[in-house]
Structure 1
Amino acid sequence: MRIGIYGSSFNPVTNGHLWSANTIAVREGLDKIIFLPSSNKRRDKEIQTEDHHRLEMLKLAVMENTRFELDDYEMKAVAGRHYTYETMRYLREKYPNDQLFFLMGADLLSQLPQWTYANELVKSTQFIVIERGNIVMHRVIAEMPLLRKYERNFTLVYKGLVNEISSSYIREEFQYGSDPRYLLPESVYHYIIENNVYKGED
């Protein structure tokens, strides 16, 4: 089985996340996409929203697509084990007979060599990099020695349509009393309102 691993803070999950995941699955022949929400304990992210809210919203968002699954490994991991390299090692142990592909946006590509255990991660992982903005993905890989060395591990996907729905934009809309209703799944929209998730955040 070919499995895509989609890690993000999903704060909140948007229609852009779901559209990208489905598009990649179809284009790259993936049998399953595992959504992997980041823990707010990660040192490299500043996530104000509580883990249980992001997890519940993600559950609602993925439940209607049989190709989508959810794994809360990073939310349960002990401190110091929230690194992508550790996560991928856990998933390889969980799915020893399957091909795993880590999905990431092109905006993260240039940061990859600075990640913890970057060399081990890039060497051992197959990546599917999703077009974001005007980033020239081939150029980023060519200019970075680590990525260049393992270029065969990167599949670059050009979506053919600009769909850059921002989670931060959605949070701001809720915080300032606007209505981003059609940028995210209807079930998630109602969960946010009913649980007052983004009111009063700084």
Structure 2
Amino acid sequence: MSKKIGILGGTFDPIHNGHIYIAYEAKRLLDLDEIIFMPSGNPPHKDEKNITDSHLRYKMVDLAIRSYDGFITSDYEVSKQGLSYTYETLMHLKVNLKGSELYFITGADCLMDLEKWKNVNLIMDNCNFVVFNRPGYTKEKLYAEKRFVEQKYNKKIIFLDLLQLDISSTWIRQRIREGHTVDFFIPDEVSKIIRENRLYL
């Protein structure tokens, strides 16, 4: 029987409890066997000068998810040379996880920007595309975009209506810069790495 594997990508700079909640709920609701957390190496849409070293981000993710059953961290994008494109990652996983059914899990903001991504047709061909709601997007707007993408690529998109935790890595970095505690929003292991490496100050 083939495995059902979720992929949750992102810069995870830093990973926070919102990411873990999304992964947990996606695994439960979609009856997935595993969730692969995929910290990005050099994402094409972000200025890499402002991104924390990829190996530190990987370490934060790895420690944050260690106690959750079926959560694993991949260093594929972190170890890869050059830019990280979603379609390449999915094609790589498709070959290396033969027979597995892949579920690519992403937020509403990515659905709205999907037409700017590279080789969207290859993304859609190599996974089940899963979108969760995020603050700032009405359901009407999301469903309209979902219908547009489904018709254009002739693929179904799975929508997860999750509790909207308005936590972002950007906001966490800002709180740290301003000298406020973020311990309620990130796992203890992540907090420790941030302090030891004096990140985001």
TM above 0.5, yes or no, is yes
Structure-2-length-normalised TM-score: 0.91
Which of the numbers 73, 76, 82 marks the counterpart of 2:76? 73
Q: Which residue of the partner structure matches residue 106 of structure 2?
A: 104
The answer as to whether partners of 1:53 and 1:197 remain within 8 angstroms in 2 is no
Say if 2:64 and 2:190, in contact at 8 Å, map to a contact too: yes
In structure 2, the residue matched to 1:90 is 92
> How far apart, in 2, do the equivalents of 1:12 and 1:168 lie?
9
User: What are structure 2's unaligned runs of at least 5 residues?
Assistant: none
Paired with 1:105 and 1:16, the residues of 2 have a C-alpha distance of 12
1:157 is matched with which residue?
160
After TM superposition, which residue ranges in structure 1, 4 or more long, deviate above 4 angstroms?
none
Secondary structure of 1:100 counterpart: strand
2:119 and 2:127 map into 1 onto residues whose CA distance is: 12
CA deviation string 1:68-118 (max 9, x = no partner)? 0000111111214x1100000000011111110100001110211221112
Measured against aligned partners, the alpha-carbon deviations of 1:127-157 in whole angstroms (never above 9, x if no partner) come to 1111112332211122x3x432345431101
Give per-residue Cα distances to partners, 1:153-178, cap 9 Å, x unaligned: 3110101x221211111101111211
Distance across 2 between alignment mates of 1:76 and 1:180: 29
Unaligned runs of 5+ in 1: none
2:7 aligned with 1:5 = yes
Contact 2:94 2:126 in 1 (8 A): no
Report the counterpart of residue 139 of structure 1 in structure 2.
144
The one-letter code of the counterpart of 2:47 is: E
How many residues align? The count is: 194
- d(CA) in 2 for partners of 1:131 and 1:111? 14
Contact 2:40 2:77 (8 Å CA) reproduced: yes
Q: How does 1:49-64 map to 2 (within 5 A)?
A: 49-64=52-67
Shift of 1:66: 2.1
1:130 counterpart residue number = 132
Name the residue aligned to 1:31: 33
Task: Give the letter for the 1:72 counterpart.
Answer: D
Distance 2:191 2:126 in 1: 38
CA contact (8 A) 2:102 2:126 kept: no
| CA RMSD between the two structures | 1.5
Q: In the aligned structure 2, how far is the partner of 1:111 from the partner of 1:30?
A: 26
CA distance in 2, matches of 1:122, 1:147: 10
Query: Structure 1: which amino acid aligns with 2:43?
Result: R
Q: Normalization by structure 1: what TM-score? A: 0.90
What amino acid does structure 1 have at the position aligned with 2:44? R
